[in-house]
Amino acid sequence: MKKRKIGMALSLVLAAGTLLGACGKSDTNKPADTSKGGDKEKAFSVAMVTDVGGVDDKSFNQSAWEGLKDFGKDNGLKKGKGGFDYAQSTSDADYSTNLNTLARQGFDLVYGIGFLMHAAVDEISQQQAKSKFAIVDDEVKQPNVASIMFKEQEAAFLAGVAAALQTKTNHIGFIGGMKIPVIERFESGFLAGVKAAKPEAKVDVQYSGAFDKAELGGTIASKMYSTGADVIFHAAGATGNGLFKEAGDLKKKDPSREIWAIGVDRDQNDMGPDVVLTSAMKRVDVAVKDLSTKAKDGKFPGGQTTTYGLQEDGVGLAPINSKASNKDAIDKAVKEWVEKIKSGAIKVPGTLEELKTFSAK
């Protein structure tokens, strides 16, 4: 009898220990309570889907990725699932698949980078209604999608002023990617800037029809430089890499030749320190980091559009190349125009239709 009681007692003790251990294990793995601002905040995960330009396009996608990396660094995240990551698209057909994959992997916020991602973000955001999405350069009217837009025309206007004041031939070039609203904003602003600083200057406008064809960008640039252009601005993503190569090659052949290229989206001076005059910066990195922080803090602007311009430091002009002969004059003029734009004294046209009635006076 004694043995039976002792055995039962031991069984009860072991059972109690197992239950306590199980309870302890459950508490350890229990997700933090986000409503109380728990540790979940530190693990807010973000990811992005690139367009066909790729994450290392030296332009738009790369800037977005830099913003995600900065967010990850500030929040102690590691690259990969549960931290920050990206999915690269090699064709339009990859957009929906990549967005869906990242959402299913549990990322708290998934970005679609670029205007071309509209249909895919609209589709997947409805299928994954409990997930949060964001799109850059377009508006998707879904409650779980935050839209990011920029006043590209303001940065492009300053680039136009710089080009106009630097050109010696009064022949300037503009290379666009695809004829879509965002590139029209770049074109309209650039043309307005040239007109404001030097009305007599001619601007040769050509579109490549692609954002990932560097060889095509080089071909267009070659024709422009050969017909007298000495400053060319591109808004064509990775296609613009061909512009920098062409400008650099021509400069090497004749170091005394006045030849310049203007970058886009990020400071592209690293693409040719001897030929990059400046860059019309579109701070996709700033916007991506800002929106990610808002979402982490419980302030995700789902169903809304946030627009970044000069006033919000969302766009701007990179430093003028120190080798530019008119650097001082450009710096002075740019500063003056920035003040006028920020004060509302002038409104930079965002479409070619608005450009028709634009006056800098």
Distance CA 274, CA 321 (A): 8
Distance CA 337, CA 153 (A): 13
**DSSP class per residue in 223-263:** HHHHTT--EEEEE-GGGGHHHHHHHHHHHHH-TTS--EEEE
How far from the centroid of its chain's Cα atoms is residue 68's Cα?
10
Q: Are 211 and 238 in contact (CB under 8 A)?
A: yes
The pLDDT of residue 40 is 46
Distance CA 214, CA 231 (A): 18
Q: Tell me the residue type at 175.
A: I
- Low pLDDT (below 50) residues in the chain: 1-41
Q: Are 213 and 239 in contact (CB under 8 A)?
A: yes
Phi, psi of 315 (to 5 degrees): -140, 165
With 0-12 / 13-18 / 19 or more C-beta atoms within 10 angstroms meaning exposed / middle / buried, residue 26 is exposed
10-20 pLDDT tens trace: 344 334 444 33
Phi, psi of 19 (to 5 degrees): -65, -45
Q: What is the signed CA dihedral for 267, 188, 191, 260, rounded to 10 degrees?
A: 20
Half-sphere exposure of 250 (CA within 13 A, CB side): 25
The pLDDT of residue 361 is 80
Token digits for 147? Answer: 């839209």
Token digits for 97? Answer: 């698949």
For 225, residues 6+ apart whose C-beta sits below 8 A from its C-beta are: 173, 232, 246, 247, 250, 259
Domain covering 40-150+286-297+301-308, topology: Rossmann fold (3.40.50)
Q: Tell me the residue type at 4.
A: R
Is there a common fold for 40-150+286-297+301-308 and 152-281+326-355? yes
74-93 pLDDT tens trace: 999 999 999 999 999 999 99
Distance CA 194, CA 343 (A): 20
Phi, psi of 95 (to 5 degrees): -55, -55
Phi, psi of 72 (to 5 degrees): -60, -45
pTM over 0.75: yes
What ranges do the domains of the chain cover? Answer: 40-150+286-297+301-308, 152-281+326-355
How far from the centroid of its chain's Cα atoms is residue 266's Cα?
8
Distance CA 24, CA 16 (A): 12
Phi, psi of 333 (to 5 degrees): -65, -45
The pLDDT of residue 42 is 52
Q: Tell me: domain 152-281+326-355, CATH 3.40.50.1370, correct?
A: no
Q: Are 193 and 159 in contact (CB under 8 A)?
A: yes
